[in-house]
Structure 1
């Protein structure tokens, strides 16, 4: 499958992300979108990222623009720096997908590109001439310290005092930033499993072996919590003292409550507990940060957004315990890591106790890899268009009470369970989300459904 735009950015096989293709998309972006005279370039820790970043930088300079090379850093840190300068950015990352793939994330001077910008970039492919003069190259090392200071200044040096927190480093581009932020807030840090090769970590679909590893670390090191991120650090992973994962669509409402948000924008796949928490309004979108951002911009006010993968977007200037927190309209990993831990510390309760006070709705999600996108779409279309086919597939479940086609197929049942099926937007994968009154039930529903999908699609 050739590289294409998915739920967040351009993705494809490394073998297909040639210099010519990367150059073409970079030029198209600069022709179709505002850039402020410069492009900030960052990269994750994949083996393929330096070569692709070099191609991006050359293309920017050959368009007569300044390229600001930030090297390796988290996606939200790059976005914070470029938006602060009023300039564009391109992040070289495949996020959580395997190392044989990579991609590009594009940022306008005011934040992530929208779907309309993606269409404009596609329309501009093949245009954009090489300038007579080569643009400047600036190497910048200040973005990561500024990103760390953003949270230390807002939460204060005592926010996590007394907590023992493990950091699963793997190949996360934020592994050092996490240690710096948590340590400067007073936490005792235990660094775990730093890798010298890329490890794809999907914070929304953590496999059983990884869960057991995290649980064992919590017990072995007597941790109050354990944290990590995906590859480019726009998605958090948070684990409580017992080794239980705190899902991203639980972290999101906790952060929103702490910051005093009034409007929540979140994809249709997110836990419905947020609807019971007393926010002014909850707006549901298709899956993908561009859709969440569009809803946030339309809503305005004290608005935040988050996804089930945990990425959190802040749409207003909020007050932290120790200082102000400026808006950041891109998915971020650090805020949904720091805020719940600081909240639990301030209340003198455990992270698990903080979560237990929320409405009792639980979700589970996972995926089947290697399913061709076309087969996934055909299967979803069959279930969507034929109620009899849908009833046959869900035979044995409670009666169907509702169908939501916002993104894929989301079916509600009379026993208050929910099953949501959709093809991945950026890889040949089939995803399943389940919701129920207990975590055990949600996990079982999700596993049973994926097994049925596997039997149908191989």
Structure 2
């Protein structure tokens, strides 16, 4: 997989993210984007991340840019640290993809880069190496300030008496999440800490992980269990029965808790949000840059979230105990905390049951080369006959199609089937929506089987 930009920054195989390629992109980023007072640098816990971070620091310092090393910390914590000092940032992370891959996520002084910035960076590649040697500083408290942000906004007793599991695995924010929950009064029980990188996709949790989470929850009588992906910008929440709460449902609940007036979310998100009475709901293409663009256009009391649960706060909101400054980058902590708090003295499952009765699921075929997935999705987009043939394998008929991002097909019974190739991994994504869990599960199973036959034979 040659390194290239996708929905979450530059991604590629570690073997192809050479010091020369990394330095070229760093120089281009510095030349093309406003990085203000310098460059904050962070990384996840992949084995390759320290080396790539060192390559970034060396390239930036050679350009005369002051580098502030924030160490290993969640992506939103790095974004907050950069926001506080008016600097740009680069996070070394491959998010949920396997450890043989990694990536760079870029932030200008104003926040996560846009698609226009991405094009400008690509256009600035090939610059000569600098000859300066600027200052290298350390920010050892960036993660601690990130933790305190939520405790101050929610209060020391917000989760008092709650017993919450933490699937730690290799998430860079595992200790920060534990500190937040404990700071809010919860008892935290840790499971599955790993010093070997574990690729956890919170949007498409594999069956073995689901079963393990359910076993932990039931064995220890937990009120909930939480986790994150590798760079801790996407949440994972299980209720007291061991059932995973979809990320977009957490987004709906969090938006309501914070008093948002406008919600911006991708086309793949649960359509129940349109039934909750927000002033406006704007649907975008999939990816935080598109959500951010929609938020900037909307203005006011606006929030954004993705189907994976990453939540973007576009205004200074009021938490249960104090103000919460805006942070318009994907964050996993806020939806986890707000959903747990929203449950009150009841259960998480009872609070989720109050949402509109729409069930979404997401999964994917892995190791699908884009030269196979993209032509297949293009055929679906271009041909009503191809869509009819595909849907016939699922036992459905098409009532309408949306091509905002991939191919989203509404069936005559109201169910939805949405097929989309990943923008930065060799994966073919499938999103389904039905009125109940059983219907969504059946549609997902049939859809994955049909996709496998179509692209893998």
Asked if these proteins are the same fold (TM beyond 0.5), I'd say yes
On the 8 A contact 1:38/1:66 being kept in 2, the answer is: yes
On the 8 A contact 2:75/2:232 being kept in 1, the answer is: yes
Alignment-derived partner of residue 100 in structure 1: 100
**Which deviations, in whole Å up to 9, do the C-alpha atoms of 1:42-73 show, x marking residues without a partner?**
00000000000000000110001111111100
Show structure 2 runs of 5+ residues with no match: none
Structure 2 matches for 1:243-254, cutoff 5 A? 243-254=242-253
The alpha carbon displacement at 1:253 in A equals 0.5
Alignment-derived partner of residue 207 in structure 1: 206
Structure 2 matches for 1:345-424, cutoff 5 A? 345=344, 348-395=345-392, 397-424=395-422
On the 8 A contact 2:391/2:397 being kept in 1, the answer is: no
**Which deviations, in whole Å up to 9, do the C-alpha atoms of 1:368-390 show, x marking residues without a partner?**
01111121110011111111121
On the 8 A contact 1:74/1:173 being kept in 2, the answer is: yes
Alignment-derived partner of residue 301 in structure 2: 302
Which 4+ residue blocks in structure 1 deviate beyond 4 angstroms? none
The alpha carbon displacement at 1:139 in A equals 1.2
Tell me how far apart the structure 1 counterparts of residues 229 and 84 of structure 2 sit (CA, whole Å).
24
Tell me how far apart the structure 1 counterparts of residues 172 and 295 of structure 2 sit (CA, whole Å).
27
**Which deviations, in whole Å up to 9, do the C-alpha atoms of 1:164-222 show, x marking residues without a partner?**
00000000001000110000110011011110110000000001110000000001111
Instruction: Compute the TM-score of the two structures, normalised by the length of structure 2.
Output: 0.99
Alignment-derived partner of residue 28 in structure 1: 28
The alpha carbon displacement at 1:414 in A equals 1.4
Alignment-derived partner of residue 77 in structure 2: 77
Tell me how far apart the structure 2 counterparts of residues 169 and 71 of structure 1 sit (CA, whole Å).
18
Alignment-derived partner of residue 256 in structure 1: 255
**Which deviations, in whole Å up to 9, do the C-alpha atoms of 1:93-138 show, x marking residues without a partner?**
000000000000000111100000000000000125403x301000
Tell me how far apart the structure 2 counterparts of residues 438 and 128 of structure 1 sit (CA, whole Å).
57
Tell me how far apart the structure 2 counterparts of residues 418 and 368 of structure 1 sit (CA, whole Å).
18
Alignment-derived partner of residue 111 in structure 1: 111
Instruction: Compute the TM-score of the two structures, normalised by the length of structure 1.
Output: 0.98
Alignment-derived partner of residue 455 in structure 2: 457
Tell me how far apart the structure 2 counterparts of residues 157 and 74 of structure 1 sit (CA, whole Å).
22
Alignment-derived partner of residue 227 in structure 1: 226
Tell me how far apart the structure 2 counterparts of residues 439 and 374 of structure 1 sit (CA, whole Å).
33
On the 8 A contact 2:37/2:86 being kept in 1, the answer is: no
Tell me how far apart the structure 2 counterparts of residues 328 and 128 of structure 1 sit (CA, whole Å).
34
Show structure 1 runs of 5+ residues with no match: none
On the 8 A contact 2:284/2:290 being kept in 1, the answer is: yes
**Which deviations, in whole Å up to 9, do the C-alpha atoms of 1:267-307 show, x marking residues without a partner?**
00000000000001110000000000000000001000000
The alignment status of 1:42 with 2:39, answered yes or no, reads: no
Alignment-derived partner of residue 171 in structure 2: 172
Alignment-derived partner of residue 5 in structure 1: 5
Query: What secondary structure, in the 3-state scheme, does the structure 1 residue paired with 2:192 have?
Result: strand
Q: What's the RMSD between the two structures over aligned residues?
A: 0.8
Tell me how far apart the structure 2 counterparts of residues 394 and 254 of structure 1 sit (CA, whole Å).
32
Query: What secondary structure, in the 3-state scheme, does the structure 2 residue paired with 1:363 have?
Result: strand
Aligned residues: 455
The alignment status of 1:242 with 2:237, answered yes or no, reads: no
On the 8 A contact 1:43/1:93 being kept in 2, the answer is: yes
